Amino acid sequence: METMPTGFLSWVIFLLDKYWVLFLKGAGVTLLLALVGTFIGCIIGLVVGVIQTIPVNKNDTLLKRHSIGLVKWLLSAYVEIFRGTPMIVQAMVVYYGSMSMFNIDMSAMFAGFLVVSINTGAYMAESVRGGIISVDDGQREAAVAIGMTHFQAMFAVILPQALRNIMPQIGNNLIINIKDTSVLNVISVTELYFSSKSAAGVYYRYFEVFFITCVIYFVMTFTASRLLRIWEKKMDGPSDYQLVEGDPMQDPCGYFQHGTVGGKDNGND
Amino acid sequence: MAMTNNEPLLEVKDLHKSFGQREILKGINFKVHKGEVICIIGKSGSGKSTMIRCVNFLETLTSGAICYQGKNVLDEFKELSLYRTKVGMVFQSFNLFNNMTVLDNCTVGQTKVLRKGKEEAQQNALKYLQHVGMANYINAKPHQLSGGQKQRVAIARALALEPEILLMDEPTSALDSEMVGEVLQIMRQLAAEGMTMLIVTHEMAFARDVASQVIFVDEGIIAEMNPPEIVFKAPENERTAEFLARFNNGR
């Protein structure tokens, strides 16, 4: 019979020593679920957000207008339903429902990925839509005015700016997902919360175990938040620029300064 | 001044435009011939900007037609894209693509719409950037430039598609007086080279010196269309005289 630790700190050390693999595995699963879920969710959100902002002209054919209308209606139904119900309930419905209704025996892990992704997708769809709306309409007008189609303007001009604007939202979603994947313990996905519960049950040391769990969650979310901040900075690019000096097509008129230009010598290229 | 063919490059026929119940344009008719510089003047809210925006269909027409080289654009051009590459647009607020460098701003239309190769597009862009004195700034992002520099890049972006006509919607109105000069200088230069231009402007001196025709828009109609000598010295319409008098007093 081993000697039991006394005091809070010695329990923490004892439990860490005994269950560190369990904690680590749990944290790994949590992180995997959050990262994959957020990534796929972002893609879903991007697609939904882009479709929802397709403009409809009254000159378009009736068929086109109605089919776009129907798709938009379905997508907003998706967004409203998955934003409007708790993820813990969605997990139960998807996991057990797929079995009893469609006879699909998906693993708990797969159900986990699915639920986190479509849930994040619903939130991201609104973020993307907001990001697209927030880009000045002049950007779209300028793109269209040089002959771009709606989709060219969207992918070359508007989305890159919208994405930059919603980076903080993506970060938010990642952090929420790291924490909220804990609800997947109801379908026995062995993420961090589930692992912690197993570890806690052995010695009935709930406080000590969940203190450790708390610290692990915080380390993960804080790291994610800092990394995203760095990524944002990187997206912004350098804050200064290099003047091109002596470039291959040397400027024949020199600089234009305060409107004093000799606008000669340029009809011959 | 360039010769005037019989066939106008661009013709606006009985253009009407309403926003809801409010009719902004009440039957606009005019022609633009190759090589002409037409300045559109008038009070704020008279419909000048709406008019020029209708020309490249940034606003949908309520009724009427825009004809390009004798063809009704909406009938003859299956996609507006091709027509729009022939009709360059310069905006009051520049509208440079914020996510791109100066060079990319001037190449993206060529590569995406005209499907030119990257190399060719860059050479072409450089040529026009040089024309407006911005070739040294190809690596800068729009937010790093001054207003005048942005507008010069915007002009180069429009020119890079080698349009037949350039539409300018108050190109100097968002600039401070020092920068107005550098942009007007470019516009004078383009006019001297024979570029066809349709310019909404409040720069009366520019209109007087450079325009071949001046259009005075008042409450949604063209109140007067005449050469600048007439409009500025002896306007036919008394509302033109009133507007110019008020304008001169305001300065």
pLDDT tens profile A93-112: 999 988 888 878 888 899 99
Provide the domain count of chain A.
Answer: 1
ipTM: 0.90
Domain span at residue B26 reads 10-95+164-250
pLDDT tens profile A199-226: 888 888 888 889 999 999 999 999 999 9
Q: Which residues contact B199 (CB under 8 A, 6 or more apart)?
A: B37, B38, B39, B40, B167, B168, B171, B187, B207, B211
Amino acid code (one letter) for A230: I
CA–CA distance from A189 to each of A117, A201, B249 (Å)?
15, 17, 78
- Enumerate the residues of chain B whose CB falls inside 8 A of the CB of residue A269: 127
Does residue A267 surpass a pLDDT of 60?
no
Per the domain annotation, does A157 fall within a domain?
yes
**What is the C-alpha to C-alpha distance for residues B19 and B54, in angstroms, rounded to an integer?**
13
**What is the C-alpha to C-alpha distance for residues A165 and B52, in angstroms, rounded to an integer?**
32
Higher model confidence: residue A249 or residue A120? Answer: A120
Residues of chain B with confidence (pLDDT) below 70:
1-5, 250-251
Interface of B with A in 156-215 (CB under 8 A): 157-158, 161, 178, 180-182, 184-186, 188-189, 192-193
Interface of B with A in 84-143 (CB under 8 A): 84-85, 88-89, 91, 93, 95-101, 108-109, 112-114, 123, 126-127, 130-133, 135-141
pLDDT at A54: 87
pLDDT tens profile B118-160: 999 999 999 999 999 999 999 999 999 999 999 999 999 999 9
Residue B193 is part of a domain; what is its CATH number?
3.40.50.300
B79 at A interface, C-beta within 8 A: yes
How many residues are recorded in chain B? 251
Chains A, B: CB contacts within 8 A come to: 132
Per the domain annotation, does B223 fall within a domain?
yes
Per the domain annotation, does A269 fall within a domain?
no
Q: Which residues contact B159 (CB under 8 A, 6 or more apart)?
A: B88, B128, B131, B132, B166, B190
Residue A63 is part of a domain; what is its CATH number?
1.10.3720.10
Per the domain annotation, does B137 fall within a domain?
no
Calculate the CA dihedral of residues A83, A86, A87, A88 and round it to 10 degrees.
-170
- Enumerate the residues of chain B whose CB falls inside 8 A of the CB of residue A59: 60
H or E element, residue A71: helix A62-83
Amino acid code (one letter) for A141: E
Provide the domain count of chain B.
Answer: 1
pLDDT tens profile A6-51: 888 888 888 888 888 888 998 999 999 999 999 999 999 999 999 9
Nearest by CB to residue B137, choosing from A157, A243, A253, is A243
Per the domain annotation, does A186 fall within a domain?
yes
pLDDT at B124: 92
Residue of B nearest to A244 (CA): B136
Q: How confident is the model at residue A121 (pLDDT cuts 50, 70, 90)?
A: very high
